[in-house]
Amino acid sequence: MPKIYRSSNRQRPQDAVIKRAAEIEPVVSDLFRELTREAGSDRLYCVSLVPPTQVPPGELVTFSMENHVRRLKASLAHIDMTAVFAADISYNEHKSGLYPPFWGIHWWGHAKVFMTVDELRRRLKLTYPPSLIAPRAYNVQPWDGSEQSVRYALKPNFERRIGYGGSMSIDGRTGQVRFSRNTRKREIRVAALPELDAFLERVGVYGRLAAIGAQVRRGPNGLKLVALRPTAEGERATTNQADPAV
């Protein structure tokens, strides 16, 4: 069972989190099965991405996940991969007020890439540059094949991230701008939880998923990942589908 809010979140109704956990559980199992099948003898990578999108408090309920997914796909159009990403939500603030509070909706995914991992990182660096809010806007690590990684991507409860400190420097060797900042993780305040619950209720589990170079189909037997295999010169084959797809 995924971790649920600790008792220090006084008066926080548990029903919404417990309901989400129950809805997520079969999707986690299906996605883990499909990722394991897709990996085969190849290595998959865990890829985290922090887009620059900042949702002011009070506007999360009407935030368009469809447009957010479109922006993700556009940002990865130059990268040949088969991947499934899940949206992770956090409430972000800075202890000294260097940036205003906002909801961040970033991505955690599992990807098979058709290039070297060094080339993948180089391309992500161009699309997801560092900033004070996200000093490391992307990360790539080999997937260890565990279900826990999939469970993390689709967790039912989320965190408040409190930034403190912050500096900018220029690398004397490369001339690149570098940012640094520390972060503490805390529970989301009770007053902000109704907005988060309403958003998650509206988008649902499948609304948090984004497939790149693939389709996530929903059928009577659960979730199925259908990869759009690369063809000559990186073009992808298209498929006809009867089942709804992400």
Question: Which of 45, 63, 60 has the alpha carbon at shortest distance from 212?
Answer: 45
DSSP, res 230: B
Question: Which of 164, 133, 126, 128 has the alpha carbon at shortest distance from 48?
Answer: 128
Question: Which of 131, 132, 61 has the alpha carbon at shortest distance from 94?
Answer: 132
Take residue 39 and report the two structure tokens written for it: 């990996």
DSSP, res 52: S
How many other C-beta atoms can be found within 10 angstroms of the C-beta atom of residue 126?
A: 9
Question: Which of 233, 239, 157 has the alpha carbon at shortest distance from 225?
Answer: 239
CA–CA separation, 67 vs 57, rounded Å?
A: 18
pLDDT in tens, 111-148: 999 999 999 999 999 999 888 788 889 999 999 999 99
Global confidence as pTM? 0.83
CA–CA separation, 24 vs 46, rounded Å?
A: 19
Take residue 78 and report the two structure tokens written for it: 């130059």
Collapsing DSSP to helix, strand or coil, 124 comes out as: helix
Report pLDDT for 228: 76
Instruction: Give me the residues of the chain with pLDDT under 70, please.
Output: 1-13, 166-181, 229-246
Q: Is the dihedral of CA 183, 17, 196, 49 positive or negative?
A: positive
CA–CA separation, 60 vs 54, rounded Å?
A: 10
Exposed e or buried b per residue across 5-20, where buried means at least 16 C-beta atoms within 10 angstroms of its C-beta:
beeebeebeeebbeeb
